[in-house]
Amino acid sequence: DAGVIQSPRHEVTEMGQEVTLRCKPISGHNSLFWYRQTMMRGLELLIYFNNNVPIDDSGMPEDRFSAKMPNASFSTLKIQPSEPRDSAVYFCASSPASYNEQFFGPGTRLTVL
Amino acid sequence: DQQVKQNSPSLSVQEGRISILNCDYTNSMFDYFLWYKKYPAEGPTFLISISSIKDKNEDGRFTVFLNKSAKHLSLHIVPSQPGDSAVYFCAASSYASGGSYIPTFGRGTSLIVHP
């Protein structure tokens, strides 16, 4: 299995631009999670989906952030408009239903200038 | 307020010696605890876990101890190897009504094992 796939691996953009991060979970995993890692706040859960349905988005910092999961094999995290304080590493993770361990992708390093 | 705390940002150990990484939590509703290991430019990978009904779980060189009364867990690596050099995240989880275990992560401890 290829594991969780994230793209792009690196993204550099200017303030005000729209950014879209992509994730392909492991086939057969029912749950998908988006995290953000920063030096100040560590690894924070932004939103998670079960069976493609958003369950809890209370970690999404602002309305500028949105996430979708149109099918079981694809999810996006969008930031519009982006701001310099959004610079961080964004991880996607997936897991089978009712499973404690999560499988993380390699992350997308976002830099907003 | 942090519910899962790793108070040591870094730890340096000699090869062959024991590494002890500590983690404290505040929420008594957590019922499962995990350790993840992260190398640079990679995502975290699951290392070892323990249920709240146990006080010890061992897997090869890695042992996790849980002290529920103190709300404290620790990861022991014996013997430490240079390849163990990584950032270690402690996570505590509870079952959410949506049908998933939702972890809360500590900020990580960077372990360096010197040859």
Q: What is the pLDDT of residues A52-68, one digit of tens each?
A: 999 999 999 889 999 99
| pLDDT at position A98 | 77
| Mean pLDDT in residue range B55-68 | 97
Question: Is the Cβ pair B98, A50 closer than 8 Å?
Answer: yes
- Identify whether the C-beta of residue A112 lies closer than 8 Å to the C-beta of residue A14: yes
| pLDDT at position B102 | 87
Interface test with A, best of B34, B94, B100, B104 (most A CBs within 10 A): B100
Q: What letter does residue A17 receive in the DSSP assignment? A: -
**Rounded distance between C-alpha atoms, residue A97 and residue A89, angstroms:** 25
Counted across chains A and B, CB pairs separated by less than 8 A come out at 65
Going residue by residue through chain A, which has 113 residues, state the pLDDT in tens, using 9 for 90 and above: 689 999 999 999 999 999 999 999 999 999 999 999 998 888 999 999 999 999 999 999 889 999 999 999 999 999 999 999 999 999 999 999 878 899 999 999 999 99
Q: What is the pLDDT of residues B5-50, one digit of tens each?
A: 999 999 999 999 999 999 999 999 999 999 999 999 999 999 999 9
Question: Is the Cβ pair B98, A103 closer than 8 Å?
Answer: no
Question: Is the Cβ pair A100, B45 closer than 8 Å?
Answer: no
Question: Is the Cβ pair A103, B93 closer than 8 Å?
Answer: no
Question: Is the Cβ pair A102, B103 closer than 8 Å?
Answer: yes
| pLDDT at position A97 | 80
| pLDDT at position B105 | 94
Chain B residues at the A interface, defined by Cβ less than 8 Å, are 32, 34, 36, 41-46, 49, 89, 93, 95-96, 98-108
Q: How would DSSP label each residue in chain B? A: --SEE---SEEEEETTS-EEEEEEE--TT--EEEEEEE-TTS--EEEEEEETT-SEEEETTEEEEEETTTTEEEEEESS--GGG-EEEEEEEEEE-TTSSEEEEE---EEEEEE-
Chain A residues at the B interface, defined by Cβ less than 8 Å, are 4, 31, 41-45, 48, 50, 55-56, 91, 93, 95, 97-107
Q: What is the pLDDT of residues B63-104, one digit of tens each?
A: 999 999 999 999 999 999 999 999 999 999 988 766 678 899
| pLDDT at position B57 | 98
